[in-house]
Amino acid sequence: MYKILVYLLAIQHHAKNIHYHCAGSTFWADHLLADKVFDGLQDLMDEINEKYYMGKEEDTPQQTRLLEDASELVPEAIDDMTVAFAQLDKLIISCIDELETVSALESITVGDNDLIGRIGSDMQQKHGFLWRRLK
């Protein structure tokens, strides 16, 4: 689940980069779409820490390490919003792929699968929004 936390944090930060750097005729729509992608990610990360790690009596990952690992995935802010949203969508697809990998592990519990499913559903919706923007 560590990689999923890293992806969620990277998605969150890249969405805010877009939110603050978009401009031009599509500013408002891009600004709101970036917010839509950002929304709910902190709650999902809290659930992973509280339900997956703490619920299994395990220490949660150190935030400093998570930030370091996520920062390697966050692209630099750019003016081309089509490219920026495509980069964001690539992060979301990578997160979905990692969710699929984790869900196949034998050590995953019913509760873990519920959490993974809810995160996957959220990522799939965000991917759909970006797909429409990039279409």
Domain ranges of the chain: 2-134
Tell me, what's the pLDDT at 20? 95
Contacts of 10 (CB under 8 A, 6+ apart): 70, 71, 73, 74, 91
Region 37-62: mean pLDDT is 96
In Å, what is the CA distance from 28 to each residue of 23, 126, 128? 8, 18, 19
Region 69-75: mean pLDDT is 97
As a whole number of angstroms, the distance between CA 1 and CA 47 comes to 11
As a whole number of angstroms, the distance between CA 46 and CA 24 comes to 35
What CATH number was assigned to the domain covering residues 2-134? 1.20.1260.10
Region 22-26: mean pLDDT is 94
Q: Which of 129, 119, 135, 105 is nearest to 34 (CA)?
A: 129
